[in-house]
A and B are shown apart, each in its own frame.
Chain A
């Protein structure tokens, strides 16, 4: 399968612990996005990368959240000192830059985080 993959698919942690998620985009895609989705809502934009550069971050991304894409390929999203409000599905998407204003994103299956 050459789609976007995410690991782990499920994570249960205790409040205060740190967690890290990984996203492997489609191999030739240079853009990578992170979103958070809670039940009954649409995905909320967190951040995106073009190659290894993090170009935009949402205000939702507090200082407990950090994302990296060190070699312009896979990306990690770390949440430090998790809180119960962090419980959500974390989605990764990738895209290939093309025509101006056109950016079709392909989504991974997500990592479901539960903070107890």
Chain B
């Protein structure tokens, strides 16, 4: 069964450093999402792509976060500089047109 791939699974970084996460959606899924999940809370959407275009980035802290999906397939989420409050699980999901989103295993970020 096809799955959403994410790497790395775990990342520890010092504050003020740059960090990047990678996501490879299920083949053929045009829509890709990045979520942030703080411990004890539900995921919150950071950015949504339709192919290579950003559809919604209203909750993305643009002063330090950036996301790209240059060829409309895999995607990278970057944080620069990282802050202590960025410690969270970063989840990637993808979907076809039927609104059902498939999630990857996530990247657990710890900022020290």
A joins B in a complex? no
Instruction: Mark B residues whose CB is within 8 Å of A.
Output: none
